[in-house]
């Protein structure tokens, strides 16, 4: 891909607009990504032509919608290289998927005194489900330290994961520090102690090739809206053997085999975990988003974003008074970049950038324990996707400098 004249950007109509009289530069992709016109068309097309409930009807529309719903599952299976399509469970998103693991696998397998191991950089959705499970079960929640660059520290992982550990759950890519954690190595450590490995893939699956068989993770959670798809749809991947042994967490239509007055038997995978009418359009359109990403190629997306980071990170580090969190070496940093400017609250910085048309996020990024660990209360965060360009990076850098001057002098 040509970084100056990005051929994908024109597919995203929302990017072609003015914000505060400036061209929009959208750098809040870690929160949610924009959608290409084809994916928007696919959503409209489904509702215009094929809409019907899945699995329950013999009429043509029901068959069409069921076929597309299950085809999307197979596309997602291939996308993460899962062995079987019934290992792909549709959920509302990453948060929902992680909660299902805690409420099903966790509730079934954790007893008093067991250990659950996570890290200091986890998003609240990969922290609170385990914290609450530990409270309910009188289990011990342990945190792996971060190394100087902000990576989950392997040496400490070896110390924290013991024969008492039943679940290890780690973010593949941090939504604050932009590090790619060594989840494959941590999975090996977890398995050597008989624990299962959960990977929060919310920030990795949209940006790089992720192969669940290569990682040998037991579970993987990710969200459709962070990878060009609609909100309200996400994926729980789990190894078939584990999912088969796990109890369902939601009860109702679709997830049953036979319902008797006083007992019920469960449907097969994956439907056992998909109670009620699912987000049919969301799932189908996520399949189309996966087609779009696959056409570009996840390795190409990863390489392209790395090129952007190589370009922008040194420029950011050059701004006097600006601190970047996580690795300072672009080779170790992904396209999620958190920073603070001396003497300026990140909300003021983000507001100043918005005046220049630049959309970034400011706050604790749903990672309050990480903020405490870093000794700060909040950061500004610019997060790139493959439709961003070096020009966007330049506008970000120039706008930070302009905002700094504005707050210093009272003028832009």
334 is an interface residue for ligand PMP by CB under 6 A: no
Q: 3-state SS of 278-313?
A: CCHHHHHHHHHHHHHHHHHCHHHHHHHHHHHHHHHH
171 is an interface residue for ligand PMP by CB under 6 A: yes
Catalytic hit among 256, 366, 376, 401: 366
Identify the residue among 126, 379, 383, 399 touching ligand PMP (CB under 6 A).
126
Distance of alpha carbon 329 from alpha carbon 184, whole angstroms = 22
Identify the residue among 65, 95, 334, 403 touching ligand PMP (CB under 6 A).
95
Identify the residue among 40, 127, 190, 202 touching ligand PMP (CB under 6 A).
202
H/E stretch holding 190 reads helix 183-192
Is the CB of 125 or the CB of 389 nearer to ligand PMP?
A: 125
338 is an interface residue for ligand PMP by CB under 6 A: no
Residues numbered 28 to 57 that lie near ligand PMP (CB under 6 A) are 30
Distance of alpha carbon 288 from alpha carbon 6, whole angstroms = 21
Distance of alpha carbon 98 from alpha carbon 218, whole angstroms = 12
CB under 6 A: which stretch of 62-70, 92-100, 190-198, 264-272 binds ligand PMP? 92-100
Q: Please work out the total of residues on this chain that contact ligand PMP, with binding judged by CB under 6 A.
A: 14
Give me the sign of the Cα torsion angle 125, 284, 242, 179.
negative
Residue 361 Cβ, how far from ligand PMP at the closest point, in Å? 9
CB under 6 A: which stretch of 70-78, 197-205, 292-300, 378-386 binds ligand PMP? 197-205
Identify the residue among 6, 77, 119, 203 touching ligand PMP (CB under 6 A).
203
93 is an interface residue for ligand PMP by CB under 6 A: yes
Is the CB of 336 or the CB of 397 nearer to ligand PMP?
A: 336
The β-bridge partners of 173 are 180
CB under 6 A: which stretch of 17-25, 38-46, 119-127, 139-147 binds ligand PMP? 119-127
Identify the residue among 68, 77, 94, 165 touching ligand PMP (CB under 6 A).
94
Residue 10 Cβ, how far from ligand PMP at the closest point, in Å? 27
Instruction: Tell me which residue of 251, 268, 227 sits closest to 84, measured CA to CA.
Output: 268
Residues numbered 348 to 387 that lie near ligand PMP (CB under 6 A) are 366
> Tokens 């998003």 appear where?
123
Is the CB of 199 or the CB of 400 nearer to ligand PMP?
A: 199
Identify the residue among 200, 218, 254, 392 touching ligand PMP (CB under 6 A).
200
217 is known as an active-site residue: no
> Tokens 């040194």 appear where?
314
Alpha-carbon dihedral 288, 290, 295, 301, rounded to 10 degrees: 140
In contact, 267 and 89? CB cutoff 8 Å: no
Residue 126 Cβ, how far from ligand PMP at the closest point, in Å? 6
- Tokens representing residue 348 in the block: 């003021």
Strand order in the sheet with 379-383: 322-324, 336-341, 379-383, 361-363
Identify the residue among 33, 65, 104, 175 touching ligand PMP (CB under 6 A).
175
Q: List all residues 6 or more positions away from 231 whose beta carbon is below 8 Å from its beta carbon.
A: 32, 93, 224, 225, 282
65 is an interface residue for ligand PMP by CB under 6 A: no
Give me the sign of the Cα torsion angle 382, 179, 29, 346.
negative
Is the CB of 172 or the CB of 404 nearer to ligand PMP?
A: 172
Is the CB of 286 or the CB of 344 nearer to ligand PMP?
A: 286
Residue 334 Cβ, how far from ligand PMP at the closest point, in Å? 12
CB under 6 A: which stretch of 54-62, 195-203, 299-307, 324-332 binds ligand PMP? 195-203
Q: List all residues 6 or more positions away from 5 whose beta carbon is below 8 Å from its beta carbon.
A: none
Grouping H, G, I as helix, E, B as strand and the rest as coil, residue 384 is: coil
Query: What is the CB neighbour count within 10 angstroms for residue 287?
Result: 23
In contact, 255 and 266? CB cutoff 8 Å: yes
Residue 410 Cβ, how far from ligand PMP at the closest point, in Å? 35
Would you give the distance in Å from CA 87 to the centre of its chain? Answer: 18
Instruction: Tell me which residue of 15, 19, 31, 14 sits closest to 354, measured CA to CA.
Output: 19
Is the CB of 181 or the CB of 399 nearer to ligand PMP?
A: 181
**So which residues are the catalytic ones?**
366
In the complex, the residues that contact ligand PMP under the rule CB under 6 A are 30, 93-95, 123, 125-126, 171, 175, 200, 202-203, 223, 366
């Amino acid at each position: 891909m040509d970084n100056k004249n990005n051929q994908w950007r024109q597919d995203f109509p929302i990017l072609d607009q003015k914000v505060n009289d400036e061209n929009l530069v959208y750098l809040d992709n870690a929160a949610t990504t924009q959608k290409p016109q084809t994916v928007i068309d696919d959503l409209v097309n489904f509702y215009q032509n094929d809409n019907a409930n899945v699995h329950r009807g013999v009429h043509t529309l029901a068959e069409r919608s069921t076929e597309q719903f299950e085809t999307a599952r197979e596309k997602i299976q291939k996308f993460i290289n899962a062995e079987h399509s019934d290992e792909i469970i549709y959920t509302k998103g990453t948060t929902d998927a992680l909660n299902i693991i805690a409420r099903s696998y966790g509730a079934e397998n954790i007893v008093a005194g067991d250990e659950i191991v996570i890290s200091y950089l986890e998003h609240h959705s990969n922290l609170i489900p385990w914290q609450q499970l530990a409270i309910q079960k009188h289990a011990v929640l342990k945190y792996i330290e971060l190394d100087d660059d902000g990576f989950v520290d392997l040496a400490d992982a070896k110390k924290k994961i013991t024969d008492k550990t039943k679940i290890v759950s780690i973010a593949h890519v941090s939504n604050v520090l932009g590090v790619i954690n060594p989840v494959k190595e941590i999975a090996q450590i977890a398995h050597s102690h008989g624990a299962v490995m959960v990977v929060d893939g919310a920030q990795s699956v949209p940006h790089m090739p992720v192969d669940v068989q290569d990682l040998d993770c037991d579970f993987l959670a990710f969200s459709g809206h962070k990878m060009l798809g609609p909100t309200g749809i996400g994926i729980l991947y789990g190894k078939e053997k584990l999912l088969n042994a796990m109890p369902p967490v939601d009860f109702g239509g679709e997830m049953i085999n036979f319902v008797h007055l006083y007992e019920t038997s469960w449907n097969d995978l994956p439907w056992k975990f998909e109670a009620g009418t699912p987000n049919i359009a969301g799932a189908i359109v996520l399949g189309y988003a996966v087609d779009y990403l696959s056409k570009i190629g996840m390795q190409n997306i990863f390489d392209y974003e790395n090129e952007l980071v190589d370009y922008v990170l040194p420029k950011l580090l050059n701004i006097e008074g600006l601190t970047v969190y996580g690795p300072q070496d672009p080779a170790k940093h992904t396209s999620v970049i958190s920073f603070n400017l001396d003497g300026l609250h990140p909300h003021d910085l983000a507001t100043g950038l918005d005046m220049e048309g630049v959309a970034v996020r400011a706050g604790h990024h749903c990672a309050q324990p990480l903020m405490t660990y870093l000794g700060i209360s909040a950061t500004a965060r610019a997060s790139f996707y493959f439709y961003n360009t070096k020009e966007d990076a330049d506008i970000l850098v120039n706008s930070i400098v302009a905002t700094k001057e504005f707050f210093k002098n009272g003028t832009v």
